[in-house]
């Protein structure tokens, strides 16, 4: 009986979703008008309009997004660190082909992540995607030289303290324009000509900070899952 | 092929995701379906303001060509990162449940929780009268 009700509900929901397509085709006609976009680009100095929006006009949202990400990382670490660690368990065996190809691929992936974060205001990319790409580079690094080696090197660089400091630094960067008599959340560094590398220095700075934050947060989630994977 | 657009694909993905989310009982598969629903939402929001002949919202665009609206894309960017974080957190909760009840089947877990609760209640009932007795004695 319960199963019948559940299946009926599922089918009804799916039909309702498809019905929206059939009866009310919701495709909007227009894109952006070019005048608006050009004005947006000259105001922020970034030619990638998506990052001009989320690090310019909607910086408030991005700030809270970073905070939500931080809270999720804290939650993962809090619940996983109370479980017994499986460091003594046998290391995950990797085939030689995977090891060798990961060794070639991980520097390239890390550099790609750095590039995406640095040029996020001029070309496709940005701090979030750059951070995630660099974190997958770290995962490839783990595959090639082993998780404990990578962990020792990174925690030797003080990466955990950096993780807790970065949200504070981002908040300070957002609040600091008040000291110069400008409204809060406005751009900290001067805006130059659109299309140059230093044309929008504050978006560049925020992209790099957010990229670092996402890289370290993703690495910590990955490490917590590898370390406390448990035994089946 | 006019009906085959991003919104249609998003709707189909949404339907598949919700169906799996409701019908299947495995918690890990439920999380995968939740990810599918999330992706369908992202695809929907991007494709409602996009048409195939439009340029990407990066200047300088070709003269005379329309640019896809950058606002939904900026909106969706946060959803992707939050999706990743929430997925990691809920996987941790599934790990804790599996460790305690040795199953990913949500009905079995519910059953185990209810029997546990019933046992706790019986123990409370056996404990409480004796406490009442001692209180009466002390009076």
Per-run averaged pLDDT (10 residues), chain A, 232 residues: 78 70 52 66 83 87 91 91 70 79 93 94 90 93 87 85 90 88 80 81 91 93 84 56
A19 close contact with B: CB closer than 8 A: no
Range of the domain at A128: 2-227
Yes or no, beta carbons of A47 and B73 under 8 Å apart: no
pLDDT tens digits in sequence order for chain B, 139 residues long: 667 788 888 888 998 999 998 899 999 999 999 999 999 999 988 888 777 778 888 877 777 777 888 888 888 888 888 888 889 999 999 988 988 898 899 899 999 999 999 999 888 776 655 554 444 444 4
Could you give the ipTM of this predicted complex?
0.78
Yes or no, beta carbons of B48 and A26 under 8 Å apart: yes
Asked if residue A232 is part of any domain, the answer here is: no
Yes or no, beta carbons of A49 and B5 under 8 Å apart: no
Which positions ≥6 away from A199 have C-beta within 8 Å? A45, A46, A121, A191, A192, A193
Nearest residue of B to residue A124, measured between CA atoms: B58
Which positions ≥6 away from B105 have C-beta within 8 Å? B25, B26, B27
Structure confidence by residue, pLDDT tens digits, A122-134: 888 889 999 999 9
Q: Which residue carries 């019986």 as its tokens? A: B122
Nearest to A53 among B11, B70, B99 (CB): B70
Cross-strand pairs, A191: A200
Which positions ≥6 away from A8 have C-beta within 8 Å? none
Nearest to B68 among A6, A9, A31 (CB): A31
Nearest to A50 by CA among A100, A127, A124: A124
Yes or no, beta carbons of A80 and B59 under 8 Å apart: no
Yes or no, beta carbons of B81 and A31 under 8 Å apart: no
CB A37 within 8 A of CB B59: yes
A81 close contact with B: CB closer than 8 A: no
Q: Total structural domains in chain A?
A: 1
Q: Which residues of chain A lie closer than 8 angstroms to B71, CB-CB?
A: 32, 53
- Residue B100's pLDDT is 87
B115 close contact with A: CB closer than 8 A: no
* The two structure tokens encoding residue B63: 């003269």
How far is B72 from B79, CA to CA, in rounded Å?
Answer: 11
Q: Which residue carries 């590898």 as its tokens? A: A226
A76 close contact with B: CB closer than 8 A: yes
In the CATH scheme, what architecture does the domain B1-57+68-102 have? Answer: Orthogonal Bundle (1.10)
Asked if residue A120 is part of any domain, the answer here is: yes
CB A144 within 8 A of CB A99: yes
Chain B contacts in chain A segment 104-163 (CB below 8 A)? 123-124, 126, 128, 132
Alpha helices in chain A (DSSP H): 2-23, 34-44, 49-52, 59-81, 96-118, 127-145, 147-156, 159-175, 201-227
The pTM of this model reads: 0.83
A58 close contact with B: CB closer than 8 A: yes
Structure confidence by residue, pLDDT tens digits, A183-217: 877 888 888 887 788 888 889 999 999 999 999 99
Nearest to A32 among B16, B69, B80 (CB): B69
How far B62 CA lies from chain A's nearest CA (Å)? 11
How far is A66 from A61, CA to CA, in rounded Å?
Answer: 9
Yes or no, beta carbons of A50 and B54 under 8 Å apart: no
CB A121 within 8 A of CB A54: no
CA distances from A39 to A33, A34, A109, A171, B36 (A): 10, 9, 35, 27, 36
Which positions ≥6 away from B138 have C-beta within 8 Å? none
How far B128 CA lies from chain A's nearest CA (Å)? 33
For residue A165, the tally of other CB atoms under 10 A from its CB is: 12
- Residue A92's pLDDT is 64
């Amino acid at each position: 009986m319960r199963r019948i009700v559940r299946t009926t509900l599922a089918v009804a929901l799916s039909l309702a979703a498809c019905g929206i397509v059939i009866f009310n085709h919701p495709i909007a006609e227009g894109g952006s008008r070019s005048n608006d976009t050009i004005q947006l680009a000259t105001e922020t100095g970034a030619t990638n309009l998506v990052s001009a929006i989320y690090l310019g006009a909607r910086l408030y949202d991005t700030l809270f997004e970073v905070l939500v990400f931080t809270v999720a990382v804290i939650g993962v670490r809090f619940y996983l660190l109370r479980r017994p660690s499986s460091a003594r368990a046998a290391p995950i065996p990797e085939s030689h082909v995977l090891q060798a190809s990961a060794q070639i691929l991980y520097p390239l992936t890390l550099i790609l992540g750095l590039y995406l974060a640095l040029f996020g205001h001029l070309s496709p990319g940005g701090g979030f995607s750059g951070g995630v790409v660099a974190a997958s580079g770290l995962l490839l690094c783990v595959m090639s030289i082993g998780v404990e080696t990578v962990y020792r090197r990174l925690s030797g660089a003080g990466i955990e303290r950096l993780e807790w400091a970065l949200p504070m630094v981002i908040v300070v960067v957002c609040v600091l324009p008040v000291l110069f008599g400008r409204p809060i959340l406005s751009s900290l560094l001067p805006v130059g000509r659109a299309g140059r590398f230093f044309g929008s220095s504050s978006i560049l700075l925020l992209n790099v900070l957010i990229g670092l934050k996402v890289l370290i947060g993703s690495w910590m989630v990955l490490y917590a899952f590898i370390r406390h994977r448990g035994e089946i | 092929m006019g009906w085959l657009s991003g919104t249609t694909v998003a709707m189909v993905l949404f339907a598949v995701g919700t169906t799996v989310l409701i019908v299947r009982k495995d918690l890990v598969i439920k999380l995968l379906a939740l990810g599918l629903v999330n992706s369908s939402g992202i695809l929907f929001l991007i494709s409602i303001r996009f048409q195939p002949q439009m340029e990407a919202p990066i200047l300088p665009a070709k003269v005379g060509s329309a640019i896809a609206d950058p606002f939904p894309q900026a909106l969706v960017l946060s959803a992707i990162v939050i999706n990743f974080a929430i997925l990691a957190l809920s996987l941790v909760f599934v790990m804790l449940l599996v460790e305690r009840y040795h199953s990913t089947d949500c009905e079995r877990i519910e059953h185990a929780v209810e029997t546990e609760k019933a046992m706790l209640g019986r123990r409370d009932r056996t404990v409480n009268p004796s406490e009442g007795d001692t209180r009466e004695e002390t009076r």
